[in-house]
Copies of this chain bind each other. A is one copy, B any other.
Amino acid sequence: MAQVIQDQPAEHAVGDLTDELTAYMERKGLRSTSQRRLVSEVFFSAEGHYSIDEVLAMARAKDPKVGYATVYRTMKLLVACGLANERQFGDTVTRFEIARHDSHHDHLICIECKRIVEFEDDEIEAQQEALAKRYGFRLVSHKHELYGVCPACRDK
């Protein structure tokens, strides 16, 4: 059965994510710079699905000197260490979301107001597996996005 997940998912312990990042950087011999700390902090704190530009804006609110390339590279770093996922919804911009190791989720997107709701449905997941197997494929990943009009926009 599908399990309802909040629009704004349960808060993550920013500290835990930061610790994981720090451990990863240490393991890889990467340096803990003020920019990386700033960018990861604003991204971990502001839960949602953000583009590079949006993360840049959040970071610049605290330090106007950070550059686009730094945010770009830091987000790639977060993806590389498994703390963020890269997504493209309909439009062309790439968005990032905090990765949760425990559960996989997909997205329901309002084509009017662009609101993004996350959902998890074990039955659909199981059927995907069955389907891939039927074609002899070893399933590695998937992209499942539902586009529609949300309740708030329907009533307008």
Contacts and interface: CB of A to CB of B under 8 A. Distances in A.
A91 B3 CA distance: 31
Interface residues of A, number: 35
Copies of this polypeptide in the complex? 2
Interface string A34-67: 0000000000000000000000000000000000
A124 interface: yes
Given A143-B144, A145-B143, A108 B137 contact: yes
Nearest to A123: B127
Given A108-B131, A119-B131, A150 B137 contact: yes
Interface of A: 2, 4, 88, 108, 110-111, 117, 119, 121, 123-124, 127-128, 130-132, 134-151, 154
